[in-house]
Amino acid sequence: MTAVTLQHLEGLYAGGDDPWSFRTSAYEQAKFRATCAVLPRAFYRSVLELGCGNGELARHVSPRCTEYTGVDAVETALAAARRAVPSGRFHRLFLPAPLPSGDFDLLMVSEFLYFLDPAGIAELAGQLDRRWPLADLVCVTWLGSSGNALDGQAALDLFARASRRTLRCAAATSEYRIDVAEGAP
């Protein structure tokens, strides 16, 4: 159900906790601001971010929520995320897996779907739909080559077909897109 191994993901962080230069890249920082700009609500009770990495997107989103929960497979990334958002809760999970408990009203699927295979994407979409059907969902997708079996657009298409939610493209560049499905107010 995963297209890559845990060892592959850990290898991405072998050189440090910021393999994509999230902290210093103007491109990444602009993408984080664009993600926050398309959130359907100004404030959320509880956010669940899947694929939280080193917490740089969390640093932008967490001021807009009462509780933040992040999930990632790599402990190096989670240690950095805990430093970025000390008030957050973080779980080490190799997705797809049972997700943490919570009354989440915002679900963030951030640039990791292409690490899964089609069955894993379907399992994740189904779990999100069953457990948090009224939550807003934001899906950030890298459009370049992922180096995996699925590229970002193909993974997003599989997720959109597997989900009961209706995703709409809220922002896009030639390198990424941000899709949103609004839940109940």
Asked if omega into 185 is within 30° of 0 (cis), the reply is: no
CATH number, residue 137: 3.40.50.150
Dihedral angle of Cα 136, 77, 21, 167, to the nearest 10 degrees: -20
Q: How many CB atoms lie within 10 A of CB 133?
A: 11
Three-state secondary structure string covering 69-120: EEEECCHHHHHHHHHHCCCCEEEECCCCCCCCCCCCCEEEEECCHHHECHHH
Provide block-wise average pLDDT over 10 residues at a time, the chain (185 residues): 68 71 82 96 97 93 97 93 97 92 96 92 97 98 85 95 97 97 82
Tokens of 6: 């845990």
pTM, rounded to two decimals: 0.91
Specify the pLDDT at position 25: 85
Q: Domain total for the chain? A: 1
Q: What is the pLDDT of residue 21?
A: 65
Cβ 12 vs Cβ 19: under 8 Å:
yes
Look up the domain containing 47 and give its range: 6-181
Nearest to 35 by CA among 61, 63, 72: 61
The predicted pLDDT at position 161 comes to: 97
Res 185: pLDDT: 63
Q: Please tell me the distance from the alpha carbon of residue 70 to that of residue 30, in angstroms, as a whole number.
A: 21
CB count within 10 Å of CB 156 equals 24
Lookup: tokens for 72: 């990632």
Please give the pLDDT value at position 183. 86
The answer as to whether 1 is a domain residue is no
Token pair of 127 as six digits: 């779990």
pLDDT at 28: 87
- pLDDT for 47 equals 98
Q: Which residues contact 8 (CB under 8 A, 6 or more apart)?
A: none
